[in-house]
Amino acid sequence: MGKTWAVFFAVNMIAMAALCFAAPAMGMWMPEGVSTHAHDVDFLFDVILWITAFFFFLTEAILVVFLWKYGCGCKEAPATGVPGFLKPIAPLIDTPHKVEMAWTIVPAAILLYIAFAQIGTWANVKYQSRRQQFLGEDKTPVTIEVSARQFEWRMRYPSAERFREWLKNPNDSEVKKDIDAFPRNPHADDVHVVNELHVFGEPVKGPDMDEWKGNPVLVYLSTRDVLHSFNLPQFRVKQDAVPGKTIPVWFVPTKPNTVKIESGSSTMWLDGRRDAKGEPDRMLIWDIACAELCGWGHWRMIGRVYVHRTQDDFLEWLEQAGKSEHGRTAMTR
């Protein structure tokens, strides 16, 4: 009986492990990370994955072997004169305290390592005190107020004119103050759009023309109805929006996904593309998918992230958005 059940447990465990190994190949794994800290997050995920995988195989294998070995109903004859509970359990466990010490201290050390390995990345993307340093002191972040509502994302940008001023004097203390006060200080010429987060970067001059550097993004997140969660899976960004609070969120993109398309008199920006021609690539469509239950429309509270290839593209879009009435500028799918 024991061998049958040992095999039964083993087959199930192997099937589950196999699914884990097969999933990435089937396109069911973490999407490619497209922010500077995504690499750190994915690395930490992998560290935990390999450590837990090791202990999964270790403990399940021990269990299966024990079921196989001690479940046959053919227990060795009891050692003479020694009751079972006094019988040395094994050479290994002759001194049980040592074994117990080992299996307490070793996991403790590994767990402490896992815990402390997280702190740096967590601090970089969440601690207020690290924000300036993480985004770069001499950079002007794209500053956006995102106000979540049932069931849409309302974005407010500074006007193109004002943003140009900021870009020119990134280290000016007045500009820094202006950026800090942005959520409290709406201007008449602010640009409002819905469900579209537009940011940008710039190709970097160098031997390899494919290099591209993102401009930092600073989002002031708020809501006036219920909880929402600002969730950009590809950017490894997630932050709940809380009524009564304004929460800063920051990241730096590492890849553009938006191209400008001129058709006749109008200009459009399309995401999901590397160039103006060709079909959109699903891996380059980046959703803002609300991750905190916010009511019946929660599942379709979806926006898009548009990462413009250049600063000029972005500024051109911002100018056009400032003139637009409908609050919707890019073309979605």
Partner 1 sequence: MSVGHPPTTAAPAHHEPSFLGKYIFSTDHKIIGMQFLFTSIIFLGLGGILALLVRIQLAWPHAEIPILREWFVDNGGRMTESFYNMLFSMHATVMIFFVIIPFLTGAFGNFTIPLMIGAPDMAFPKLNMMSYWFMWPAFVLILASFYAEGGAPAAGWTSYPTLSSITMPAGEGLHSPAAPNSGHGQIFWLLSLTCVGISSMMGSVNYITTIINMRAPGMTLYRMPMTIWAMFITAILQAFALPVLTVALIYQSLDKSIGTTFFLPDGLTFGNWSAGPGGGQTLLWQHLFWFYSHPAVYIMILPAMGMVSDIISTFARRPLFGYRAMIYSIAGIAGLGFIVWGHHMFQSGMDPRLGTGFMIATIMIALPSAVKVFNWLGTVYRGDIQFTTAMLFALSFVALFIIGGLSGIFMAATPVDIYIHDTYFIVGHIHYVLFTSSLMGIFGAIYYWFPKMFGRFMNEFWGKVHFALTFVFANGVFFPMHILGTAGMRRRIPDLTATAFESPLLTLNQVMTISAILLGLTQLIFLANFLLSLFLGKQTTERNPWHSNTLEWSAPTPPPHGNFDVPPVVYRGPYEYGAVPNRTEDYLPQTLKFDGPVPAASGH
What is the footprint of partner 1 within residues 70-89 (CB under 8 A)? 70-71, 73, 75, 78, 80-87, 89
CB nearer to partner 1: pick between 158 and 272: 272
Query: Which range, of 35-43, 133-141, 192-200, 256-264, touches partner 1 by CB under 8 A?
Result: 35-43
Residue 150 sits in the site that holds partner 1 (CB under 8 A):
yes
* Site for partner 1, residues 284 to 323, rule: CB under 8 A: 285-287, 289-300, 302
Instruction: Using CB under 8 A, pick the residue from 7, 14, 111, 276 that binds partner 1.
Output: 111
Phi-psi region of 272 (alpha: psi -120 to 50; beta: other; left: phi over 0): left
* Site for partner 1, residues 255 to 274, rule: CB under 8 A: 272
Residue 91 sits in the site that holds partner 1 (CB under 8 A):
no
Report the Cα 57 to chain-centroid distance in Å. Answer: 28
Contact between 253 and 235 (Cβ < 8 Å) = yes
Contact between 187 and 179 (Cβ < 8 Å) = no
Residue 7 sits in the site that holds partner 1 (CB under 8 A):
no
Residue 97 sits in the site that holds partner 1 (CB under 8 A):
yes
How many residues in total does the chain contain? 333
DSSP 161-204: HHHHHHHH-TT-HHHHHHHHTGGG---TT-EEEESEEEEEEEEP
* Site for partner 1, residues 37 to 56, rule: CB under 8 A: 37, 40-41, 44-45, 48-49, 51-52, 55-56
Smallest gap, in angstroms, from Cβ of residue 36 to partner 1? Answer: 13
CB nearer to partner 1: pick between 162 and 273: 273
Residue 168 sits in the site that holds partner 1 (CB under 8 A):
no
Residue 186 sits in the site that holds partner 1 (CB under 8 A):
no
Instruction: Using CB under 8 A, pick the residue from 239, 254, 258, 329 that binds partner 1.
Output: 239
Smallest gap, in angstroms, from Cβ of residue 126 to partner 1? Answer: 4
Dihedral (C-alpha) 198, 204, 210, 215: value to the nearest 10 degrees? -20
CB nearer to partner 1: pick between 160 and 305: 305
Relative to beta strand 142-149, strand 217-223 is parallel
Residue 194 sits in the site that holds partner 1 (CB under 8 A):
no
Smallest gap, in angstroms, from Cβ of residue 262 to partner 1? Answer: 25
Report the run of H or E that residue 8 belongs to, with start and end: helix 2-22
Phi, psi of 217, rounded to the nearest 5 degrees: -125, 135
Residue 125 sits in the site that holds partner 1 (CB under 8 A):
yes
CB nearer to partner 1: pick between 8 and 177: 8
Dihedral (C-alpha) 178, 184, 187, 191: value to the nearest 10 degrees? 90
The SS3 call for residue 220 is: strand
Report the run of H or E that residue 145 belongs to, with start and end: strand 142-149
Query: Is 242 buried (19+), middle (13-18) or exposed (0-12) by CB count in 10 A?
Result: middle
Residue 123 sits in the site that holds partner 1 (CB under 8 A):
yes
Contacts with partner 1: how many residues (CB under 8 A)? Answer: 108
Residue 1 sits in the site that holds partner 1 (CB under 8 A):
yes
Residue 332 sits in the site that holds partner 1 (CB under 8 A):
no
CB nearer to partner 1: pick between 202 and 292: 292
Residue 20 sits in the site that holds partner 1 (CB under 8 A):
yes
Q: Which DSSP symbol is given to 253?
A: B
Contact between 301 and 151 (Cβ < 8 Å) = yes
CB nearer to partner 1: pick between 49 and 204: 49
Beta strands in 40-85 (DSSP E): none
Residue 28 sits in the site that holds partner 1 (CB under 8 A):
yes
